[in-house]
Structure 1
Amino acid sequence: MPLADLTVTLIQTELCWENPAENRRILSQKIAEIASPTDLIVLPEMFTTGFSMQTEKLAEKMTGPTVKWLLEMAKLKNAAICGSIIIEEENRYYNRLLWAQPDGQLFTYDKRHLFRMAHENGSFSAGKSKLIVHWRGWNICPLVCYDLRFPVFSRWTKQASYDLLLYVANWPEKRAAAWKTLLPARAIENLSYCLGVNRVGKDENGILYSGDSVICDPQGATFFLPSHTEAVHTQILSAAALESFRQRFPAFEDADAFELL
């Protein structure tokens, strides 16, 4: 069967610092108000806490309230939903992306590249494996924030191919130029759609976030959400446009073969 279009919803929001219950309450309202049907809802990185290193205080288990909440929201909207939170597992802490589906399936990806400039690498354990989810006919690769700066890990290969690359983030305004440059670059080099969902507002460390959440098509054309304001945006990704461009411009056939250790 030919690939069908995919409808995605980006939630660009402020986050209440280290307050999971309040963030779930606010996001529940935003999700409930999504009027049109959607296939995928994307939340920011650490959407229950903000970018906090207080792992012992804030970590949840995989049996905790946020995992249950995500599965409930996925069922409510008949859509997949993803974002990352702080998870504790076997006495280690992970910045873990959770992918929940309405059928009750749950997939996870642990952030591989930890942001040493904020000492994330001293508070969390790094993931090792890339996740590619098969959802409504699409292959989707979800990654987290600082991963964006490391194109080898996200590289499309015949062994790990995808149609949509996405990043959830807490990406500061002072590095917005890098965000706006690297996301289209990832789309262009991988001949895929690429989207990034970032938060807005200021956290308790005084870091300002401008949002600038974006959808990029495989040729690098971009649609940015407004800066410095909360927004919920739904957009259809054209399967026909993706397949047509890949047929006309199959650059992946000339890509270098490599193995990531």
Structure 2
Amino acid sequence: MAQKLNTALIQANLKWENPQANRSFFSKEIKALSEEIDLIILPEMFTTGFSMNASKLAEKTDGLTLNWIREMAKLKNAAVTGSVIITENDNYFNRLFFVFPDGSYKIYDKRHTFTLAKEDQTYTAGKERLIVDYKGWKICPLVCYDLRFPVFARNTEDYDLLIYVANWPSKRVFAWDTLLKARAIENMSYCIGVNRTGNDGDGYEYNGHTAAYDCLGKNLTELDREEPFVEEITLDKKHLEETRGKLKFLQDRDEFTLK
């Protein structure tokens, strides 16, 4: 079990509907990371931007991008996560991959499709939440709009790290900043949100604000960064366990089930 989890947060100006260019960009950034990195986090739909053009852009699960993620994971001996447009059984999914260094992987299909952008009319919503066990850390990876739904994210499994990969527009970035911090505090967990920058082909502007919070809501990154950047953050399991041991808030959580 690793007491420290070294994470790399990559905030990028995604090239609209251009998987090759985006994979090329992320390849350079990933190759430049330090050798101590354990987990690399990419934005939502990191090969295309938040596009509803799924019929043109969707890949099969074992397509180019998953194979590329596997290559990056093997190269850095680190886990890599981010979401991609996937087609399966005549449906389209906004699918997050969590790929381990050995090339094996877990998937999570975005549960809350963004109705304001009519994502629900293109993509099939997922049903099951994913909890990943990696290096002794329990990790819950979610996608963008999921951030607005605290019940789905509620820490009922005592996970250690909550992740949101996103294309969250600048006009609502105050909500992004506020909710990431709230999710960390209420779940007594590290919480990381990786967003994009720039403009997409539908005219939406994104200003990043990628951030990492500890279980007390302390920001571990430089606040409000709007340019593309890469930041390496070390998460401390001992700090998490000691804080939970002193402040036993999770023991008082309500019991519930999701339909």
- TM-score with structure 2 length normalisation? 0.98
Matches within 5 A, 1:69-148: 69-148=68-147
C-alpha deviation, 1:36, in angstroms: 4.2
**CA–CA distance in 2 between the matches of 1:235 and 1:250?**
26
Counterparts of 1:6 and 1:225, CA distance in 2: 21
Q: What secondary structure, in the 3-state scheme, does the structure 1 residue paired with 2:23 have?
A: helix
Give per-residue Cα distances to partners, 1:93-148, cap 9 Å, x unaligned.
Answer: 00000111111211100000000000000000000000000001100000000000
1:221 corresponds to which of 208, 213, 218: 218
8 Å CA contact 2:137–2:160 kept in 1: the answer is yes
Letter in 2 for 1:178: A
- Find the aligned partners of 1:16 and 1:121 in 2 and give their Cα distance: 23
Contact 1:17–1:203 (8 Å) recurs in 2: yes
| CA deviations over 1:176-211 (Å, ceiling 9, x no partner) | 100000001000000000000000011111111010
Q: Pick one of 169, 187, 190 that aligns with 1:190.
A: 187
Partner of 2:235: 237
Distance 1:132 1:225 in 2: 28
Task: Report the RMSD for the aligned CA atoms in angstroms.
Answer: 1.0
Match of 2:62 in 1: 63
For 2:180 and 2:23, the matched residues in 1 are separated by 27
Contact 1:41 1:81 in 2 (8 A): yes
Aligned position for 2:253: 255
Q: How far apart in 2 are the matches of 1:129 and 1:96?
A: 12
Q: Is this contact kept in 1: 2:35–2:76, CA < 8 A? A: no
CA distance in 1, matches of 2:62, 2:103: 13
Taking the aligned partners of 1:204 and 1:198, their CA distance within structure 2 comes to 17
* TM-score between both structures, scaled by the size of structure 1: 0.97
Residue 152 of structure 2 is aligned to residue 153 of structure 1: yes
1:246 corresponds to: 244
Query: For the residues of structure 1 that align with 2:101 and 2:185, how far apart are their CA atoms?
Result: 31
Task: Give me the identity figure in percent.
Answer: 53
Does the 8 Å CA contact 1:109/1:127 hold for their aligned counterparts?
Answer: yes
Find the aligned partners of 1:219 and 1:161 in 2 and give their Cα distance.
15
Instruction: Give the secondary structure class of the aligned counterpart of 1:93.
Output: strand
